[in-house]
């Protein structure tokens, strides 16, 4: 943008990168004998740097939707755009974190974080720079030479997040990443993720069936229902931008929790 235009206030605001647009998406699993409609007419835009959570019961198609956005699976019809470009397969612009601990057991923490960079031929000194920075972000500097089996579940997921961030993705796609963790670790991980999101300015598309987790983390929540998987309703989370543990006690938090629980019950 031209500085003079900026000063005059006449310039268009710059688009925030990482915008996902999902247009009329359908997905059916078909075999010779049967057809199962997993997703029906999903339309959704996730803004650049937005933290959006998809909340829904088991089997409503959340993971299917995320895999399609990741480019790991094809839609039956419809389109996914990232910053206006059609998604046609996996790409370094989208980092994935799953529930299962998907680290390479034969690589150290640092090597796991650097894996994608090495694959892309990034020189070792640059890789070291990125992994050192991310080890600090996830507060695991002292574990750089440890192997995954020496880490707790929470630590492994922190490494998985750092590994996804190493490619500087525009978007983080997270499929119940904290689903297997104990309650206390889960809360710590949620705070760490918000910290990372703040620093890295990525778009986050997060999946969970945990209502508290959805409210605590998100700016917006989209509720899906099953049979076929579709969007039921969308909620703006009106809580302070800084999510301290106390926000869980606020009347707005509790009111939204009741409303979401009611919707999911039906
Ligand atoms: N490869 C497949 N072939 C046939 N059906 C599938 C396939 N993958 C998923 N499904 C079906 O599509 C539906 C949606 O599955 P999906 O895993 O996306 O749901 P989900 O909302 O993520 O559930 P959960 O929260 O339990 O992970 C389910 O009924 C599932 O059985």
pLDDT digits (tens, 9 = 90+) for 104-138: 999 999 999 999 999 999 999 999 999 999 999 88
- Looking at per-residue pLDDT, the higher value among 51 and 227 belongs to 51
CATH superfamily of 16-93+171-266: P-loop containing nucleotide triphosphate hydrolases (3.40.50.300)
What per-residue confidence (pLDDT) applies to 15?
Answer: 75
C-beta 30 within 6 A of ligand 1: no
Mean pLDDT, rounded, for 6-19: 68
49: left (phi over 0), alpha (psi -120 to 50) or beta: left
Could you give the CA distance from residue 61 to residue 59 in angstroms, rounded to a whole number?
5
| Strand, coil or helix: 244 | coil
List for the chain the helix, strand, coil content (%; round to 5).
40, 25, 35
178 C-alpha to ligand 1 centroid (Å): 19
CA 17 to chain CA centroid, Å, is: 15
Phi, psi of 149 (to 5 degrees): -65, -15
Nearest CA to ligand 1 atom 17: 63
Domain boundaries, the chain: 16-93+171-266, 103-168
Quickly tell me which residue has 């920075």 as its tokens: 133
User: Which pTM value belongs to this model?
Assistant: 0.91
What per-residue confidence (pLDDT) applies to 11?
Answer: 58
Of 203, 167, 173, 165, residue with least CA distance to 71: 173
Please check whether residue 51 is in contact with residue 197, taking contact to mean a CB–CB distance below 8 angstroms.
yes
66 C-alpha to ligand 1 centroid (Å): 11
What per-residue confidence (pLDDT) applies to 16?
Answer: 85
């Amino acid at each position: 943008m031209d500085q003079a235009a900026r000063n005059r206030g006449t310039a268009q605001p710059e688009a925030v990168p990482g915008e996902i647009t999902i247009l009329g998406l359908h997905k059916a699993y078909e075999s010779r004998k049967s057809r199962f409609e997993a997703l029906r007419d999903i339309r959704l835009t996730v803004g650049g740097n937005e933290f959006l959570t998809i909340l829904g019961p088991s089997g409503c198609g959340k993971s299917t939707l995320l895999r399609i956005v990741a480019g790991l699976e094809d839609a039956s019809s419809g389109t996914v755009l990232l910053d206006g470009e059609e998604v046609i397969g996996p790409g370094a612009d989208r980092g994935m974190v799953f529930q299962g601990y998907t680290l390479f057991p034969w690589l150290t923490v640092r090597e796991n974080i650097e894996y994608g960079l090495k694959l892309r031929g990034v020189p070792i000194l640059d890789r070291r720079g990125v992994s050192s920075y991310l080890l600090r972000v996830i507060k695991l500097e002292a574990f750089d030479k440890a192997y995954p089996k020496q880490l707790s579940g929470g630590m492994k997921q922190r490494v998985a997040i750092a590994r996804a961030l190493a490619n500087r993705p525009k978007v983080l796609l997270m499929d119940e990443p904290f689903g297997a963790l104990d309650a206390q670790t889960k809360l710590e991980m949620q705070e760490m993720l918000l910290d990372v999101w703040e620093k890295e300015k990525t778009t986050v598309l997060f999946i969970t069936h945990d209502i508290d987790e959805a409210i605590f983390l998100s700016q917006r929540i989209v509720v899906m229902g099953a049979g076929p998987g579709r969007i039921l309703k969308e909620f703006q989370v009106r809580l302070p931008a800084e999510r301290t543990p106390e926000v869980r006690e606020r009347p707005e938090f509790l009111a939204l929790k009741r409303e979401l629980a009611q919707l999911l019950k039906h």
